[in-house]
Amino acid sequence: MTVDFSNVANKYHKLGVNQQSAGVKLINLLTLCGSESVIDIGCGNGRLTSLLAKLTTGNVVGIDISKGMIKSAREFLPRGRFIEGDIETLPLASSGKFDVAFINSVMHWFRTPEKTLKRIQQLLTSSSCLAVQTPLKTWCPELQEAIEKTVKTSQVSHAYSNYHCPWFHLRSADEYVEYFKNLGFNVGYAEEDSVFTELHNPLKLWDLFESGPAHAYFDPNNFSAPMPANLPATFKTVFCSIAEGMAINNAEYKRAFFILRVA
Ligand SMILES: C[S@@+](CC[C@H](N)C(=O)[O-])C[C@H]1O[C@@H](n2cnc3c(N)ncnc32)[C@H](O)[C@@H]1O
């Protein structure tokens, strides 16, 4: 029961603009000195892994559960070290320790976030840091409105009556701070902010949907009854017509950034 981003691996660098710009900000918050070892958890297509690798001579490893994403990462950075695996179940005992664990736009996909963050502590020492960027519960009001309107339409509402949302989201950076403290982390830095994507064409909202949320809404694992095969196509038609009708110029992306250490 795992998410699969393989179908967007080759276009993720164009679609995932919010995730990747947030990742660049998270890298800058790290202020690396140049010799750190780094594990990029949920590295996706390796674009951020490659930026990290430019900033340190230390060992840089990317891990991702998606076969397609790992293939794309290896093509993009042939000399990079990429592992296909699920951070929630992969044996970590022989992985060694890292100075930095980097988790950008991934934590909300963890099926068992508390357990997984505890597992990730095994990869860290008392001087290591964990850098996290994650979307807030109201991550994109415009996109969420379009999704909510779509799932209520007669064309798809029946299928979505059997849907459960797989994401782990909290409402604010303050809530995450409490959450991380309870899991045994010291919080050195916490910030929430927003960025806006200009929607020259309202269908750009579909790109934002396809870059991430679609992998929940079209994942058969998230349905308690068989997911209709034509659901993605029907959803897209309805969603795009709703997005056009909404006539919005900007889509907000609300995210939070954290630099943590094991307490
Ligand atoms: C939105 S993408 C972010 C990719 C990259 N970190 C970035 O910001 O560009 C989420 C990635 O997390 C990966 N992922 C989700 N759950 C995972 C898990 N349990 N173990 C490893 N990777 C996971 C997905 O396959 C996907 O590539």
pLDDT digits (tens, 9 = 90+) for 218-247: 999 999 999 999 999 999 999 999 999 998
Determine the distance separating the centroid of ligand 1 and the alpha carbon of 262, expressed in angstroms. Answer: 22
- Please state, in angstroms and rounded to a whole number, the distance separating the CA atoms of residues 130 and 123: 10
Tens digit of pLDDT for each residue in 140-156? 999 999 999 999 999 99
Please indicate whether residue 86, judged by its CB atom, sits closer than 6 Å to ligand 1: yes
| Pocket-testing residue among 1, 2, 3, ligand 1, by greatest number of atoms within 8 A of Cβ | 3
Q: Determine the atom of ligand 1 nearest the C-alpha atom of 9.
A: 27
User: Tell me, what's the pLDDT at 247?
Assistant: 85
Q: How far is the CA of 236 from the centre of ligand 1 (A)?
A: 23
- Determine if ligand 1 sits within 6 Å of the CB of residue 72: no
Is residue 228 in a domain? yes
Contacts (Cβ under 8 Å, ≥6 apart) of 229? none
Q: What is the DSSP letter of 252?
A: E
Structural domain containing residue 256: 6-262
Q: Domain for residue 1, yes or no?
A: no
Q: What is the pLDDT of residues 151-189, one digit of tens each?
A: 999 999 999 999 999 999 999 999 999 999 999 999 999
- Distance (Å) from CA 245 to ligand 1 centroid: 32
Structural domains counted in the chain: 1
For residue range 197-223, what is the model confidence (pLDDT) as tens digits? 998 887 899 999 999 999 999 999 999
Rounded CA separation 15/32 (Å): 28
Ligand 1 site, residue 128, Cβ cutoff 6 A = no
In this prediction, residue 92 carries a pLDDT of: 86
Q: With the C-alpha atoms ordered 165, 168, 174, 178, is the resulting torsion angle positive or negative?
A: positive
Residue 41 within any structural domain of the chain: yes
pLDDT of residue 26: 98
- Residue 19 sits at φ, ψ, to 5 deg, of -65, -45
CATH number of the domain bearing residue 107: 3.40.50.150
**What pTM does this model have?**
0.96
Q: Does 225 reside within a domain?
A: yes
74: CB partners within 8 A, 6+ apart:
46, 80, 82
Q: Which two tokens stand for residue 50?
A: 């490659």
> For residue 43, what are its two tokens?
């590295």
d(CA 155, ligand 1 centre) in Å: 30
Ligand 1 near 42 CB (within 6 A) = yes
Task: Give the C-alpha separation, 73 to 80, whole Å.
Answer: 8
Check residue 60 and give its pLDDT: 97
- Please give the helix or strand (H or E) that residue 124 lies within, else none: strand 124-135
Q: Is 131 in the pocket of ligand 1 (CB under 6 A)?
A: no
Tell me, using a 6 A CB cutoff, whether residue 3 lines ligand 1.
Answer: yes
Residue 1 has pLDDT above 80, yes or no: no
Closest approach atom of ligand 1 to CA 12: 9
Q: What is the pLDDT of residues 93-152, one digit of tens each?
A: 888 999 999 999 999 999 999 999 999 999 999 999 999 999 999 999 999 999 999 999
- Pick the range with the lowest mean pLDDT from 34-48, 56-70, 84-98, 171-185: 84-98
Backbone dihedral angles phi then psi of residue 179, each to the nearest 5 degrees = -60, -50
Nearest CA to 239 out of 144, 148, 150 is that of 150
Using most ligand atoms within 8 A of CB, pick from 64, 70, 71 the residue to mutate for ligand 1.
64
Residue 246 · residue 150 · CB < 8 Å: no
Q: Where are the alpha helices (DSSP H) in 90-172?
A: 113-121, 141-151, 157-160
SS3 27: helix
Distance in Å, CA 18 to ligand 1 centroid = 14
